[in-house]
Amino acid sequence: MSNLKKFNIFVIITSFAKLLVELFIPLILYDKGFSIREIILFHVLKYLFCTISIPIIYKLGSIISYSKLMLTSSIFFSATYLYLNFLNKTTLSLIILALIFAIYLMLYWIGRHTYALSIIEDKKITDNVSLYSIFTILGGIPATYIGAKILSNFGFLTLTIIVLILMLISIIPLIKIKENSTSNKTKITNIVKSFPIRNYLFTIFDQFRYIANLIFPLFIYFYIKKELGYLGIINIICGIGSVIYIYFLSKKMDKNKKDYLKLSIIFLGIIYIFKISINNSTLFLLITFFEGIFKSALDVITQRNTYAYGKNYSTKEYVIFIEMLNNLTRTIIFIIFYIMNISLKGLLVVCIIFLCITVLIKYDDGKYGYNNTKKAV
């Protein structure tokens, strides 16, 4: 079995396990008495701790294997949900939850991106990333709905145990992938200096899209329908709209040597405007289907561009740099949102505005990207 197949098995299992519960964290915090502003504070703390933990995880990754770090992430993942189950409404509890969750997130995503970048072939980046995205979506399609049913019928502890077992199983394929040790490491300071300004701008503004996706479940719960099962149905419809389109989009991208980035941003911006403008639950499901198409298309495109440019550097250092940039930006944005103290709809409007601004920025995908291919032709 190829490394890519082993990695995709890991992706589909962890995507299913993560989405069984991850989507419900803000809603559970709300049910425990935390206000919307306090939930925004939780996100501030979470991404602040993510930013702080990145250098420590990088050092650990140079001492022990990333498969062992991924194993550790499973423990912190389960600890997050166990602690959430017994959480009291205090600021200290919120801080501890954010810390545990942040450690899990960084162990998981640094490990996942490191494995992905190390096994993706230079000449098949789009094809490999599209498969990676399809397996992520396939794993997540039924997860939220199943998670809602388990949560309603059996309780949080049962759901946490199931998630822990799945996360531990998911590590097995990774153990069989030989980690690449890069002999000519790129210094992170050199990446900071050489990373293109327009890529900095695009990456920073793109975090508003990421944050919008974090806020939307709360928006749906308060403004559309207060049912956990409804969020699960939305996830299923969004996933159905994604998988087939991603497959054909990746083929078209490789054929035309074009990423369709601007077009996808425009369409997703329009769909987000529709999402915050309607309150009919049936019509919202229809909008969600189209969101699935363009949201996942944009995920594939930005991931492909980020990975393509990453081929210019040593893998681990580039992943650390990108994660640091992403999480520092998210921390700052959530701090601003916390200070602004505006409604969920107002926060989403801000996110949509910055999403639309990214249309003006052309991402440099490096010597392994489409821009260089066109020049060669």
Q: State residue 183's pLDDT score.
A: 47
Kindly report the pTM of this predicted structure. 0.88
Q: What is the pLDDT of residues 273-294, one digit of tens each?
A: 999 998 898 999 889 888 888 8
Provide the greatest CA pair distance for the chain: 62
Instruction: Give the integer Cα–Cα distance in Å for 129 and 231.
Output: 26
Mean local confidence (pLDDT), 10-27 = 83
Q: Is 184 left (phi over 0), alpha (psi -120 to 50) or beta?
A: beta
Q: What is the band of 24 on the pLDDT scale with cuts at 50, 70, 90?
A: confident
Query: What's the pLDDT band for 168 if we cut at 50, 70, 90?
Result: confident
- How many angstroms separate the CA atoms of 151 and 20, rounded? 9
Average per-residue pLDDT for the chain: 85
Q: Does the pLDDT of residue 376 top 50, yes or no?
A: no
Interatomic CA distance for residues 144 and 19, integer angstroms:
6
Q: How would residue 44 be classed by pLDDT, with cut points 50, 70 and 90?
A: very high
Of 35-44, 172-181, 342-351, least confident by mean pLDDT is 172-181
- Kindly report, residue by residue over 178-225, the tens digit of the pLDDT: 665 554 577 888 999 999 999 999 999 999 999 999 999 999 998 998
Tens digits of residue pLDDT in 231-267: 888 888 888 877 777 767 767 776 777 767 888 899 9
**Average pLDDT for 20-43:** 90
More confident of the two residues 139 and 34:
34
Over residues 45-96, the pLDDT tens digits come to 999 999 999 999 988 877 877 777 878 888 888 888 888 888 889 999 999 9
Residue 39 confidence (pLDDT) above 50: yes
